[in-house]
Amino acid sequence: MWTVTRRDFLRAGAAAAVGFGLKAAVGLAQAPAGQRPRRDEGVEVLNPQGRVPLSFFIDDSTCLVNMGHFCMPQFAEALPQREIYKKPWKTWPREIPDAFVREFGEWCAGHGIKGKYSVVPYPACVGWLDRELPGWSRRELLDSLKLVRELMVPNWDIHPEMISHTRVIDIATGRPLAEISSATMENSYPQTKKSVDELAAYLAYALRILKNCDLPCEGITTPGGFGNLVKSELSLAVGEAVRDVYAAELPHYFKYVSGSNESTEPKLEHVAGMETDDPRVVVNVPAGTGDWFGGWDGDREPEGDRYANRDAGSGRMVEMIERGEPAVMLCHWPGLYNQGAKTGFAAFQRVALALEARYGDRTIWMKISEIARYWAAKELTRIERSAGGVALAAPFASPRFTLRIAARGGAPPKLSHEGGPIPVREVTRLLDLKPGTWLREQEGIVVCFDLPKGRTLLTV
């Protein structure tokens, strides 16, 4: 049985909705939720493997181009009244070198850190990553893309952050629109209503460039306030564009930041067709922090303690972990490099090590697509309880699916999918839980397994 729910449409306060450089507050998300499945009592979907997901979303990254240096004069031209765009950008390095990508990527891989890494496809109109990047040799561009594919892709979802992250591009000609104003900057585009198809065409244009670069992609990041006027349409457009260009099953996007009183759980939007063989959903995965490293232009003094202090006793990441909801930290790539000083990166390392020391056995780093997939399975799997057990109907598969089932007796559960058994062995501590295990509790059991798409039966 399926019901249709519709999240209340918030009347977005104009003042809050039109920030130029900032992500929107998650409370202003406006896409309808769509269908939700039947969920019987006595079964609860827990966090993956019983651990709190952690993730690191990096904005404004691309190949070689330092977006701090190249964006600043374009932002200054479009918004001449803004003092924040009158910084000495000419003295800043034009490049964030691949040596830094390697240093960062290898350190993160060594600590199991995962997240989202933007690759702006036509960064600040400097050049096309699938064609030519003026200022760098062909070899340097190809090597840079290869480094992203080999080092970053295994642990980071790649997103376009629209086409240029500065000027709006006429996708019929590939040129920036002639007028220069806030209306023709991607950060504040569009300023009139656009249809889902128009938005999807713009997103698909960005996605195709990354596809030409052999980069995989299942989602997009919005630059600043992109799409604030068309939030529901944008969500649908993400679904259309990502499915169209990459044939991805489960499109997602990053646009919103949850405030300290808001949930950081992903929002499943425009859910439809759950009872068909073509289930559709777009997953809106918010971050939960501001950028407290070096900022988008990379010249701020990092304040790493705002994420987590040295013993992870305080900070926004600590708050989210304690609440048991996804703890997603956000920053901008130039703010880790800091024009070569790398003070943001050093601050990030301290935060990551503090979280690892205090919460390493209660948390799990995940890519944004892994969080999106887990939440699609968590909220969209139909759960029917009967005397003998639990029947699951999953429109989407997900690794590490973890259920708490109220049950007497504590006999070992039996799992099967389309007649074949899914073996599970008993563990005695929550922190030993991983796919293929179960745990006895006072009031029932916890089971963790890789949930396949389709019907799974649990006998308890």
- Footprint on this chain of Zn ion (rule: CB under 5 A): 59-60, 223
* Type of residue at 26: V
Q: Which is nearest to 382 in space by CA: 454, 284, 282, 460? A: 454
Q: How far is the CB of 59 from Zn ion (least distance, A)?
A: 4
Residue (60 or 249) nearer to Zn ion, CB: 60
Q: What is the rounded CA–CA span in Å between residue 154 and residue 157?
A: 8
Residue (223 or 413) nearer to Zn ion, CB: 223
Residue (50 or 115) nearer to Zn ion, CB: 115
Q: How far is the CB of 435 from Zn ion (least distance, A)?
A: 35
Residue (48 or 223) nearer to Zn ion, CB: 223
Q: How many helices (H) and strands (E) does the chain have?
A: 10, 25
* Type of residue at 366: M
Exposed/middle/buried for residue 58 (C-beta within 10 Å: 0-12, 13-18, 19+): buried
Query: 375 and 268 in contact (C-beta within 8 Å)?
Result: yes
Q: How far is the CB of 21 from Zn ion (least distance, A)?
A: 8
Q: Which two tokens stand for residue 306?
A: 């705002």
Q: How far is the CB of 297 from Zn ion (least distance, A)?
A: 11
Q: Which residue is nearest to Zn ion (CB)?
A: 59
Query: 362 and 431 in contact (C-beta within 8 Å)?
Result: yes
Q: How far is the CB of 445 from Zn ion (least distance, A)?
A: 44
Query: Which residue reads 């950081």 in tokens?
Result: 264
Q: What is the rounded CA–CA span in Å between residue 294 and residue 300?
A: 4
Residue (50 or 223) nearer to Zn ion, CB: 223
Q: How far is the CB of 387 from Zn ion (least distance, A)?
A: 53
Residue (223 or 266) nearer to Zn ion, CB: 223
Instruction: Output b/e per residue, 405-421; b: 16+ Cβ within 10 A.
Output: bebeeeeebebebeeee
Q: How far is the CB of 67 from Zn ion (least distance, A)?
A: 8
DSSP 127-175: -BTTTB-TTS-HHHHHHHHHHIIIIITTTEEEE--SSSSSBPEETTTTE
Query: Which residue reads 């990053």 in tokens?
Result: 254
Q: Which is nearest to 297 in space by CA: 111, 66, 136, 38? A: 66
Residue (206 or 355) nearer to Zn ion, CB: 206
Residue (223 or 294) nearer to Zn ion, CB: 223
Q: How many CB atoms lie within 10 A of CB 428?
A: 7
DSSP 12-33: --HHHH--SSSPEEGGG-----
Q: How many CB atoms lie within 10 A of CB 171?
A: 14
Residue (60 or 240) nearer to Zn ion, CB: 60
Residue (60 or 98) nearer to Zn ion, CB: 60
Q: What is the rounded CA–CA span in Å between residue 228 and residue 189?
A: 8
Q: Which two tokens stand for residue 243?
A: 């499915």
What are the backbone angles phi and psi of residue 201, rounded to the nearest 5°? -65, -40
